[in-house]
Amino acid sequence: MRKKIVAGNWKMNMNLAEGLKFAESVSRYFNNKPAAKAEVILCTPFIHLGGVSAILENSKVASGAQNCASEESGAYTGEVSAGMIKSTGAKYVIIGHSERRSYYHEDDAILNRKTSMALKSGLKVIFCCGEVKEERETGKHFEVVKRQLGNGLFLHSGKEMAEVVIAYEPVWAIGTGLTATPDQAQEMHKFIRQLVSEKYGKEIAEDMTILYGGSCKPSNAAEIFSKPDVDGGLIGGASLKLDDFTAIVEAV
Ligand code: 13P
């Protein structure tokens, strides 16, 4: 069965005390509610992850990281391995976010390695893809997403794909206030599901959770999530405010 998910990506926001306090409020909110219709995930900075994972243990909310190393262990100063992330109790890791691709020059080959490390360590992967503005304007968006998935993700096996969630995040919609229209999101999500189907078969494609990300907020979430191939969201700015984040989860 295809799972609905709403994941918050805190990016580089909140100090440790603020992050822990916020995770406690999110946990309290969902623990006091009947089961949410979506799995809720908080993807935090590395510094917060141990504390947040402890707070969320036995709660209805899962934790995740925003990146992991492309190597398993050793002399890689400043890096954090997938195994270390897993050891905090976290379940997920975001790989291939556009901010990692553009600011830290992570290419398809590196992202493929990171995905392998994460899956090998028993983490679930939220694999991001999406085109920049110019690529959309010149009609290259399908080609770009196809390349990103083909080279970064589709080298993995069908069995491994059961541990993967795909997030479509058009770069022009991230943090800009511009959102893909529900029809634009549906069109790309359907295309992505088709690619998964061609590579891995219909059953794996039908089970694949595909999230939308990019200026998702309480006022537009319900309409975007109502589309048949949109299975939830990856939320940046609005995941930092309890009321907005919980309203987006309710919109599923
Ligand atoms: P915003 O929701 O702030 O546009 O960010 C989306 C995003 O990048 C989530 O990973």
The arithmetic mean of pLDDT across residues 190-206, rounded, is: 98
Distance 75 CA to ligand 1 centre (A): 32
Q: What mean pLDDT is reported for the chain?
A: 97
Cα dist from 172 to 46, 130, 176, 206, whole Å: 26, 9, 7, 27
Distance 28 CA to ligand 1 centre (A): 24
Distance 171 CA to ligand 1 centre (A): 9
Model pLDDT, residue 1: 83
Among 126, 216, 219, 240, residue to substitute to test ligand 1 (most atoms within 8 Å of Cβ): 216
Q: Which residues line ligand 1 (CB under 6 A)?
A: 9, 97, 169, 174-175, 213-216, 234-238
Which protein residue's CA is at the shortest distance from atom 5 of ligand 1? 236
Model pLDDT, residue 246: 97
Known catalytic membership, residue 97: yes
Contact between 235 and 248 under an 8 Å Cβ cutoff? The reply is: yes
Among 11, 98, 217, residue to substitute to test ligand 1 (most atoms within 8 Å of Cβ): 11
Model pLDDT, residue 33: 85
Active-site residue identified among 48, 97, 141, 156: 97
- Residue 165: name the closest of 31, 38, 47 by CA: 38
Q: pLDDT tens digit string along 23-40?
A: 999 999 999 888 778 999
Count CA within 13 A, CB hemisphere, residue 222. Answer: 7
The tokens describing 113, both together, are: 């390695």
Distance 85 CA to ligand 1 centre (A): 22
The model carries a pTM of 0.98
The arithmetic mean of pLDDT across residues 223-247, rounded, is: 98
Residue 143 reports pLDDT greater than 80? yes
Model pLDDT, residue 163: 98
Residue 65 reports pLDDT greater than 80? yes
Q: Give percent of the chain above pLDDT 90.
A: 95
Sheet strands (E) in 114-176:
124-129, 164-168
The arithmetic mean of pLDDT across residues 1-21, rounded, is: 97
Count CA within 13 A, CB hemisphere, residue 67. Answer: 20
The arithmetic mean of pLDDT across residues 71-97, rounded, is: 98
Model pLDDT, residue 162: 96
Model pLDDT, residue 175: 86
Known catalytic membership, residue 169: yes
Cα dist from 211 to 54, 65, 75, 189, 207, whole Å: 26, 17, 35, 8, 13
Q: In sequence order, what are the beta bridge partners of 95?
A: 127
